[in-house]
Amino acid sequence: MRTDPLRPDDPVLADRAAGWRGAYVHIPFCRRVCPYCDFAVVAGRDDLRDRYVEAVVAEIAMAEPFGPLQAVAFGGGTPSRLGASGLGRILEALANRFGLVGGSEVSLEANPEDWTPALAGGLVAAGFTRLSLGAQSFDPVVLGDLGRLHRPADIGRAVGEARRAGFERINLDLILGSPAESDASWDRTLAAALDCGVDHLSTYALTVERGTALSRAIRAGAPGPDPDVQADRYERALAAAAGAGLVRYETSNHAVPGAACAYNLLTWGGGEYEAFGTAAHGHRDGVRYWNVRRIDRYLERVEAGRRPESGREVIVGADRERERLVLGLRRAAGVIAGSGGRALLASPDGRRLVEAGVLAARGDRLVVARPLLGDEAARAVLALPLPDC
Ligand code: SF4
């Protein structure tokens, strides 16, 4: 069992995670595509699931030596659509190839309507320890507007079944600020989510991505999300989570002590992780790489014995320092200032952000003190002229 005696926002935990190694596995299958979603997903292709599992196992076998792994995350798409046997087979391949650190965290995303006691039991038996449920809202009108297939009652049922099966950590993902949502509805959603007995809450604003059904509907005259309303709902989420004893440790993530997501800590800390599956992004040896997005191309390549990587970027010098700052400033623990942080504090943008109370120097660290305005700090970092050493 993974236990962190540290608070989720403790700088010691944030810095420790930078040395962890992890793996991400992308599972693209969904029952149908939600109108706001621009992830790499496929709907109506469940016939490819067995081939996909075998391809991911083959891709893992092609990987260079790495690990052992502290954190494994299955994201998507809807990973639970592979069932416990498919996910367990991939996890076994990862464990055999790289090894798992004792107490490592193995996390998957799932949708409430797919969750069953048998699935929960099978996943725990296979080694999964953390569940992240795509709850999004407890308001049936909002769920309908978001194109979700579950009912509010499915969420609490799924959490209970996961707990009874033995999942150690459970997160609910919520979406704030959709046009169908009111202040009262959002408050009820927060209260219901915190009442479920989860130890982690992620609250993300609805965004309108190009090429989605939502963006087409808005262009045709449907209402879109209002940034001011979303800012207010974000503040309400901060207050509700804190009131329930959850600690904000990243812009949109809250957890009780010991329940911070290990894979998220690793990625925000600049740790290394291998990536498998369609569109999966990895980070290793100073290189960021990504796989082909289309499932047919992915299967063709792997089944032909070739790695499915479609691009890579070497992150060195000033780019590496900027990335360290941008990722690290998302965390409540902030980031060790270093050369880039000192340059930021000395820059006109940096001074303006400090005066506005957005940025603050705390000992040798730099933190974002007003998380709602964290994007301004990130923009200032990206515009920072740094020597490319
Ligand atoms: S369930 Fe999640 S990944 Fe699948 S289409 Fe909906 S938002 Fe996208």
- Show the CA angle centred on residue 155, arms to residues 152 and 161, nearest 5°: 145
The answer as to whether 377 is a domain residue is yes
Query: For the chain, how many structural domains are there in total?
Result: 2
| Beta carbons of 192 and 143 less than 8 angstroms apart | no
Residue 96: what residue type? N
Q: How far is the CA of 361 from the centre of ligand 1 (A)?
A: 39
The answer as to whether 17 is a domain residue is yes
* Residue segments in the chain with a per-residue pLDDT below the cut of 70: 1-4, 389
Are residue 37 and residue 99 in the same domain, yes or no? Answer: yes
Task: Give the residue, out of 37, 38, 74, 137, with the most ligand 1 atoms within 8 A of its beta carbon, to mutate for a pocket test.
Answer: 37
Q: Is the pTM of this model over 0.75?
A: yes
Are residue 254 and residue 336 in the same domain, yes or no? Answer: no
Give the CB-side neighbour count of residue 191, counting CA atoms within 13 A.
7
The residue behind tokens 């303006």 is 352
**pLDDT on residue 1:** 43
Number of H-type helices and E-type strands within the chain? 15, 17
Host domain of residue 324 = 317-382
Residues with a CB atom less than 6 Å from ligand 1: 30, 33-34, 37, 39, 41, 76-78, 111, 134
Q: How far is the CA of 135 from the centre of ligand 1 (A)?
A: 11
* E strand or H helix that includes residue 361: strand 359-362
Are residue 116 and residue 33 in the same domain, yes or no? Answer: yes
Are residue 143 and residue 205 in the same domain, yes or no? Answer: yes
The answer as to whether 67 is a domain residue is yes
Are residue 89 and residue 175 in the same domain, yes or no? Answer: yes
pLDDT per residue as tens digits for the range 100-157: 999 999 999 999 999 999 999 999 999 999 999 999 999 999 999 999 999 999 999 9
Are residue 256 and residue 328 in the same domain, yes or no? Answer: no
**3-class DSSP assignment, residue 172:** strand
Are residue 260 and residue 321 in the same domain, yes or no? Answer: no
Are residue 226 and residue 144 in the same domain, yes or no? Answer: yes
The answer as to whether 297 is a domain residue is no
Q: How far is the CA of 90 from the centre of ligand 1 (A)?
A: 21
Are residue 373 and residue 243 in the same domain, yes or no? Answer: no
Q: Give the residue, by CA position, lying nearest to ligand 1 atom 6.
A: 34
The answer as to whether 130 is a domain residue is yes
Residue 179: what residue type? P
Q: Where is the domain boundary, 252, 268, 284?
A: 268
Are residue 18 and residue 136 in the same domain, yes or no? Answer: yes
Are residue 43 and residue 137 in the same domain, yes or no? Answer: yes
